[in-house]
Amino acid sequence: MREVVLITGISGSGKSVALHALEDAGYFCIDNLPPELLPDFLRIERDRSDRRVAIAVDVRSAGSLPHLLPLIDRLRGEGVGIRSLFLDASTDALVRRFSETRRPHPLSTTAAPARAGTDPSDPASDGRRALVDAIELERELLGELREVSTVIDTSQLRPAQLRLWLRDLVGAPHGGLTLVFESFAFKHGVPLDADFVFDVRVLPNPFYIRELRPFTGRDAGVADYLAAQPEVPEMLSQIGDFILRWLPAFENDQRSYLTVGIGCTGGQHRSVYLAEQLARRFRGHCATLLRHRELDARE
């Protein structure tokens, strides 16, 4: 049968947005399917081999989660292609989202009580502590599943960005390794989904050249300026050679995705230029995706 996309992740990280995006892309989607029912459902789906399927499983099925990993291995051994995508976000981002929606966390009744040292007369503080405890408990319950999945960090993503990135991921060829280059701004935090992070803030910054400040690393003026700085091609070559050296090892390790984060101060010039150049270099080696976290947020 066709590939099955399994959507998992931390509550509040955007699983509903992801599932709706896949539904709009033509997938048959099921939310919160108990893992025990997955084999029976897929046996039924074998008669509909033309239908693409996406299934969301989350901590609401906490009692069944220990059985999910062995079940995925078994189904893959039976020839079912399962692509597991794990949505994650920083604790601060999750707390903010729960506060905005005023929805309770699924584990809010089972999380540990507020930590010692909190002011019991401050209900806001106590409520935040309880929410953080629930989030940390969920991270612990889903930790093993996260390790074997492709992680998408939604901390800084708008829903439109998440839908775009998700469509890129499921559209990439499955079965080999996909190399993802992502530019970002350190001032907004390091992406949680990055396997490697390279800090390029030591390179000359076009931001301090008034004529180049409004442009980005995708524009010719910025690209020409950076290419003319001796340090930039040197760093670009060294990062590329490092990835090229270790790429076969990650392919042999049966990795589906390898995400390389390239960070500068604002995520507009240096990181964008280097990510663009690296993606261009590796397109001939394997499937390659390109993301610009800060630029995509502006569009």
Which residues line the annotated binding site for GTP?
Answer: 58-61
Could you tell me how many residues make up the chain? 299
Name residue, tokens 């261009």. Answer: 280
Which residues carry a binding-site annotation? 9-16, 58-61
State the Cα–Cα distance between residues 270 and 192, nearest whole angstrom.
Answer: 20
- Residue 274: CB atoms within 10 Å: 26
Ramachandran angles phi, psi of 9, nearest 5°: 145, -175
Q: What is the separation of C-alpha 172 from the centre of its chain, rounded to a whole number of angstroms?
A: 15
Q: Do 134 and 107 touch, CB atoms closer than 8 A?
A: yes
Which residues carry a binding-site annotation for ATP? 9-16
State the Cα–Cα distance between residues 132 and 105, nearest whole angstrom.
Answer: 10
Q: What is the DSSP pairing of strand 53-56 with strand 4-9?
A: parallel
User: Across-strand partners of 5?
Assistant: 54, 83
The helix-helix angle for 159-171 and 15-24 (nearest 10°) equals 60
